[in-house]
């Protein structure tokens, strides 16, 4: 089965807030079929596409011929699992993806791996798969091992999979193609964007320091439009990464544009056009 192309809805978050229905219609017209919302379900109202709730989103997607493949959701000690599971089932989602976590030392990474196992077990009991999604700081070396290595080593393959973000791996000084191979069998979801030539340094640890504690404060400093490019408009070897994804058995590759200097819809249109051409090769 060939890889399928999808869209992480975080890429069009402002457009969804302004006009959720119109934005979904434009996404469908571009050619996206598989979507991945980013939601907050631990408490409060479940908004999954701008102000749109799960029931309405499912109804609109059915009409537009699109589906939800997986959901990014905050998962922690406050998570209402009945609520989260019900949301995923209502959307027709197959998986929960944890979008981010932070680590202070080796012990915190190992402890977090234990929590991932427990969350993965909770998902499995309800017929859902469970993934962890990386940013750059998971490639920080703590006592001789990267956080990513520690998470891989201390999580159960039957309970926890990984959604590799190739851009963020590169920004952590790692080789994303090598990591696709390393995660073979545990990574069938991938996020793809591109790196502009003007983004320097490429490795964020050259800016923050190899031993710097990385928190949300540091991550927010990376969130500027000039640090991101649409797929095929930057310097990443996306064609090579697509080949590596295929070798690793990736099932879905999602366009995710964290930030853009362009209009959001135009941004995901460019990435879709270029990614379709790459997938045809």
Residue 270 inside a domain? The answer is: no
pLDDT at 77: 84
Look at residue 100 in the predicted model and tell me its pLDDT: 97
pLDDT at 281: 86
Asked, for residue 242, whether it belongs to a domain, the answer is yes
Domain-embedded: residue 25? yes
- What pLDDT does residue 46 have? 74
Looking at the domain assignment, is residue 239 inside a domain? yes
pLDDT, mean of each 10-residue run, the chain (281 residues): 92 97 98 94 72 95 98 90 94 98 98 97 97 98 97 98 99 98 98 97 98 97 98 98 98 98 98 97 86
Domain of 189: which CATH number? 3.20.20.150
What pLDDT score was predicted for residue 47? 85
Q: What's the chain look like in SS3?
A: CCCEEEEEHHHHHHHHHHCHHHHHHHHHHHCCCEEECEECCCCCCCCCECCECHHHHHHHHHHHCCEECCEEECCCCCCCHHHHHHHHHHHCCCEEEECCCCCCCHHHHHHHHHHHHHHHHHHHCCCCEEEEECCCHHHCEECCEEHHHHHHHHCCCCCCEEEEEHHHHHHCCCCHHHHHHHCCCCCCEEEECECCCCCCCCCCHHHHCCCCCCCHHHHHHCCCHHHCECCCCCCCCHHHHHHHHHHHCCCEEEECCCCCCCCHHHHHHHHHHHHHHHHHC
Residue 235 lies in a domain: yes
Domain of residue 165: give its range: 4-258
What is the structure's pLDDT at 41?
63
Q: How many domains does the chain have?
A: 1
Please check whether residue 265 lies inside any domain of the structure: no
* Residue 100 placed within a domain: yes
Residue 166 domain flag? yes
């Amino acid at each position: 089965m060939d890889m399928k192309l999808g869209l992480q809805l975080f890429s069009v978050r402002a457009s969804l807030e302004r006009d959720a229905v119109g934005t979904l219609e434009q996404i469908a017209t571009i050619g996206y079929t598989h979507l991945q919302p980013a939601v907050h379900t631990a408490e409060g109202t479940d908004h999954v596409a701008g102000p749109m709730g799960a029931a309405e989103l499912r109804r609109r997607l059915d009409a537009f011929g699109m589906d939800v493949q997986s959901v990014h959701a905050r998962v922690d000690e406050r998570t209402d699992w009945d609520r989260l599971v019900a949301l995923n089932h209502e959307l027709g989602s197959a998986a929960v993806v944890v979008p981010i976590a932070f680590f202070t030392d080796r012990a915190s990474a190992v402890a977090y791996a234990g929590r991932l196992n427990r969350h993965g077990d909770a998902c499995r009991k309800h017929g859902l798969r469970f993934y962890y999604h990386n940013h750059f700081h998971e490639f920080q070396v703590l006592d001789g091992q990267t956080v990513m290595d520690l998470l891989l080593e201390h999580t159960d393959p039957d309970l926890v999979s990984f959604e590799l973000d190739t851009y963020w791996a590169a920004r952590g000084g790692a080789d994303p193609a090598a990591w696709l191979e390393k995660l073979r069998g545990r990574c069938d979801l991938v996020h793809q964007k591109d790196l502009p030539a003007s983004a320097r340094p490429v490795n964020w640890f050259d800016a923050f320091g190899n031993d710097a504690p990385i928190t949300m404060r540091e991550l927010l400093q990376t969130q500027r439009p000039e640090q991101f490019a649409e797929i095929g408009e930057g310097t990443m070897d996306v064609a090579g990464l697509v080949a590596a994804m295929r070798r690793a058995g990736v099932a879905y590759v999602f366009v995710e544009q964290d930030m853009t200097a362009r209009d959001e819809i135009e941004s995901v249109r460019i990435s879709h056009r270029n990614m379709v051409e790459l997938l045809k090769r």
